[in-house]
Structure 1
Amino acid sequence: MPHLALEYSGNVRDRMDPAALFGSCTVRGPQRPSRSLTGPAPPRTGAEPVMSAYADQRVLVVGGTSGVGLATAGEFDHVVVSAGETPMGRVDALPLADAYAAMDSKFWGAYRIPRSVRVRPSGSLTLLAGYLSQRPGRASALQSAINAALEALVRGLALEYAPLRVNAVSPGLLRTPLWEGMDVTARERMYEAATQRLPVGRVGEAADVAQAVLFVTGNAYATGTTVYVDGGGTIA
């Protein structure tokens, strides 16, 4: 199985659960999140057999940060930048400091990764953006702009760092702990409304995103592209 290095954990795990990579978030440092392999993971949908292709490889999963704790931990085969802090709010209501912090976390954090982490030329770098880049809402101008910037960054990095493959995965609404702070009734109404609107008839799970990440990391002919995993959210 591949080795998974978690930022701020100071160690390398010897087993990677592709669904759990994006299913939960724990604070390993005072400011930024890192991905956790603990806690309940969403149902897996056939990701495990794909992982056999990553035997004996080193994979780094990084949260949205302005620094990389394991940048000196040798070369990695694949790096996934999996998170960022992006608050919702209208431009005239969101504090400017929060907007700057969001850009620093999700965009500049990702921008710094190829400068800090050594990735083998035969490997890949995958950034997590979001479908709001294509489908902005009434209170998501900031998120839309940051996600669009990440998708554009991927295209440029794919040229600058070739033959390293650089791609983005842009999820839609997911049933993850991100929404745990929301009122339960309001959250379920949001999920139900999305279920009725989306062509796939359901809300996404963390495992759906993991499948897309596994695809772009494993496909040697994919670079400079964005894969939307949104249940049809960009068209519905």
Structure 2
Amino acid sequence: MTSLEKQRVLVVGGSSGIGLAVAEQAAAEGAAVTIASRSADKLAEAARLIGGGVATAVLDTGDAGSVEAFLEASGAWDHIVISAAQTPSGPVRKLSLDDAKRAMESKFWGAYRIARAAEFAERGSLTFISGFLSERPSASSVLQGAINAALESLARGLALELSPVRVNAVSPGVIDTPLWSKMDEANRNAMFERIAGNLPAKTIGQPSDIANAVLFLMTTPFATGSTVRVDGGGAIG
């Protein structure tokens, strides 16, 4: 495994949840970390939590011009991780087309724009965060499964196009992140308990579990074109 010491790491969506956990672990390994998201306030709080001189950048991945300008000005990155997405969910016949387009725009096209515009160090890496619905669809989240599958396919193709830059995906299961914070705490805990009981791992995932997999891919020179599933066995249970 290679060292992240003084490596330039950009975490898009690094102000909360999985992205924040990735940024924290990369910084702890000595990387020069920049976190990016749309909210300056959330970035400031995340930077305070991470410490160690982490840099911040307000960035909307839906704005192609802003993405291109930021990446042109920032120079070559050793590693980029993309965790930012807002994806309205629901059955295909009930989810409005506008909401469906917004979901695809946020999670797939946002990642595509960054991959298209970014400059990487020769042995750099790009990692997408997808999701286990790509392999185990849900009748109420069909679009999310399709978007995740598209991201994983994009990673495999880019691993060829961008070689020797390494491109991979990490596919989480149900993770305890701020995504669920709008739920009543009792209902949320009951849901987590029910889901954990049905998983082979018998537990709900934490952001650090996904960050572990991301750092493995960043620091393993032989890993490219891969999707690492970290879902507690959700795809097989």
Deviation at 1:149, TM superposition (A): 0.4
AA paired with 1:100?
Answer: K
Measure the CA separation in 2 of the matches of 1:206 and 1:130.
13
Structure 1: gaps spanning 5 or more residues: 10-15, 42-57
1:70 and 2:79 are equivalent in the alignment: no
Deviation at 1:127, TM superposition (A): 0.5
The sequence identity of aligned pairs, in percent, is 45
Q: Which moved more, 1:151-160 or 1:67-76?
A: 67-76
Cα-to-partner distance string for 1:124-166 (whole Å, 9 max, x where unaligned): 0000100110111121001000000000101100011111100
The residue that corresponds to 2:176 in the other structure is: 175
Cα-to-partner distance string for 1:43-93 (whole Å, 9 max, x where unaligned): xxxxxxxxxxxxxxx9x9x88644426312111000001121112201111
Measure the CA separation in 2 of the matches of 1:152 and 1:101.
20
Would the aligned equivalents of 2:173 and 2:232 in 1 still touch at CA under 8 Å?
Answer: yes
Would the aligned equivalents of 2:133 and 2:148 in 1 still touch at CA under 8 Å?
Answer: yes
Measure the CA separation in 2 of the matches of 1:221 and 1:63.
32
Structure 1 residues 7, 133: CA separation in 2 closer, same or farther (over 3 Å shift)?
Answer: closer
Structure 1 residues 234, 19: CA separation in 2 closer, same or farther (over 3 Å shift)?
Answer: farther
Measure the CA separation in 2 of the matches of 1:126 and 1:63.
18
Would the aligned equivalents of 1:34 and 1:63 in 2 still touch at CA under 8 Å?
Answer: no
Q: Normalized against structure 2, the TM-score is what? A: 0.77
Measure the CA separation in 2 of the matches of 1:122 and 1:98.
38
Measure the CA separation in 1 of the matches of 2:129 and 2:219.
16
Measure the CA separation in 1 of the matches of 2:48 and 2:234.
28
Measure the CA separation in 2 of the matches of 1:95 and 1:231.
31
1:37 and 2:23 are equivalent in the alignment: no
Deviation at 1:196, TM superposition (A): 0.4
SS at 2:225's partner residue?
coil
Would the aligned equivalents of 1:82 and 1:128 in 2 still touch at CA under 8 Å?
Answer: yes
Would the aligned equivalents of 2:10 and 2:79 in 1 still touch at CA under 8 Å?
Answer: no
Q: Normalized against structure 1, the TM-score is what? A: 0.78
The residue that corresponds to 1:125 in the other structure is: 126
The residue that corresponds to 2:17 in the other structure is: none
Measure the CA separation in 2 of the matches of 1:198 and 1:6.
29
Measure the CA separation in 2 of the matches of 1:8 and 1:235.
28
The residue that corresponds to 2:230 in the other structure is: 229
1:18 and 2:25 are equivalent in the alignment: yes
Q: Over aligned residues, Cα RMSD in angstroms?
A: 3.3
The residue that corresponds to 2:151 in the other structure is: 150
